[in-house]
Structure 1
């Protein structure tokens, strides 16, 4: 990514500090990142070699979860918070392949993501795809902005993939989820993934420490019990809260055990 191509969104872009959306893009094999993102991403990989596998497993989980929701569950509205840079099999692509009339709102507050999303996240003719420039810390603003595209009187799938880990305060993260759940009707779903030092992820502790000293935003891992608590009051679908690589995988036994929880839960 050249500096020239990224400057239009304004002063918020910082090409000298590694940023999660761009480093994640690097781990997924993309090209939308700066040299500093590659440097930090490579260092994290050297400290925690399976991070690329985690990124790919998270993306594959998204595909399976959205496929289930748009198909078997009949969901036609998706609120994807912390979407990151567009890559293959984005939420709207998966949903609209199954249900062309699906409506998707992407939410992020990174200006580079904004530029790429508006250019690349185009909808089917029957459905709708919109981008909201908002912060995950402000769920009320997200809901208000998304209501221009989504009908919150009908079921909505709220996607929280790899985003709550950037809300370091657990009480605050829980409050965000609660406010989002309160805004959606019965029959809606919450989909989340979250890194952990469980599931063989103990080696990620030093890599996360390095990240917090050299990149933005700061990240935190949580236990399975802490992640499950985000879904209190919801019906967690089978197979429950598991390594995201193994959530309804074609061959669960062959799927890697990555240190990233994944779950899909329904609001009763």
Structure 2
């Protein structure tokens, strides 16, 4: 256990499940604890496809970053970035352009601590410990690495469904995009109940109860509600769709209850 704890900040409560560490578990990572694994396994018992959904979500991120790189974007602000795993944004971007800049933002201390350890020798990437709702603080920190006079790709992957409407998620997203120039992009993935039948919805409600014991509660949103995050922007084809249907590399008919979309600021 002591070996396991070396990478954990002393302020972290390892007895309470963390959504970032549960996600790490779904992706096959090792930066999680018994409380995270226990909660994640409860979710798996109800929804055996959760790991597949997490992988589909991660694949969307890779495709979105590559597409933005193809459009000439070489700066990324990854909000709610989570614990680093294979295929991080800086790895994808800097593979094609070593000068690409990336700022990761997460409120989970383990995620940020591990990110900065990985980025210690990378002058063009950093991680900030902050809640994405703290827009002013995040933007101030991001400006130290990113040039806001040039287009930026804002990535909010599987994070907004942990922010309740009372915490103004739409206003937060709008504020981030308001300070960025034309040609910037916004990529979002978001869990939904839209595609679920009555039995699956009952299972999803059980999952939501499990997450209520973690550091964040789930807030599912409809297609219309997810689309609203892109208000005033130009949605790229095919619009707001299941993540595995967004410009896929190969055909995937898996049932994934996560929407994904990318839009350009005009």
**Unaligned residue ranges in structure 1 (runs of 5+):** none
Task: For residues 146-184 of structure 1, give each alpha carbon's deviation from its aligned partner in whole angstroms, at most 9, with x where no partner exists.
Answer: 001101110000000011111111670101111001011
| Structure 2 CA distance for aligned equivalents of residues 116 and 218 of structure 1 | 24
| 1:172–1:239 distance in 2 versus 1, CA, 3 Å | same
Q: Are 2:174 and 1:175 equivalent residues in the alignment?
A: no
Cα offset, 1:103, TM superposition? 0.5
Runs of 4+ in 1 over 6 A off after TM superposition: none
Task: For residues 72-92 of structure 1, give each alpha carbon's deviation from its aligned partner in whole angstroms, at most 9, with x where no partner exists.
Answer: 211010000111000000000
Cα offset, 1:199, TM superposition? 2.3
CA contact under 8 A between 1:81 and 1:160: conserved in structure 2?
yes
Structure 1 SS opposite 2:261: strand
Aligned CA-pair RMSD: 1.6
CA contact under 8 A between 1:196 and 1:221: conserved in structure 2?
yes
CA contact under 8 A between 2:19 and 2:211: conserved in structure 1?
no
CA contact under 8 A between 2:7 and 2:114: conserved in structure 1?
no
- Equivalent residues in 2 for 1:61-100, closer than 5 Å: 61-70=60-69, 72-100=70-98
TM-score by structure 2 length?
0.93
TM-score by structure 1 length?
0.93
Alignment partner, residue 208 of structure 2: 208
Alignment partner, residue 154 of structure 2: 158
| Structure 1 CA distance for aligned equivalents of residues 101 and 5 of structure 2 | 32
Task: For residues 177-233 of structure 1, give each alpha carbon's deviation from its aligned partner in whole angstroms, at most 9, with x where no partner exists.
Answer: 110010111000000000001223633222112221x21211111101100001011
**Unaligned residue ranges in structure 2 (runs of 5+):** none
- Equivalent residues in 2 for 1:179-194, closer than 5 Å: 179-194=175-190
Alignment partner, residue 124 of structure 2: 128
Alignment partner, residue 247 of structure 2: 248
Aligned residues: 261
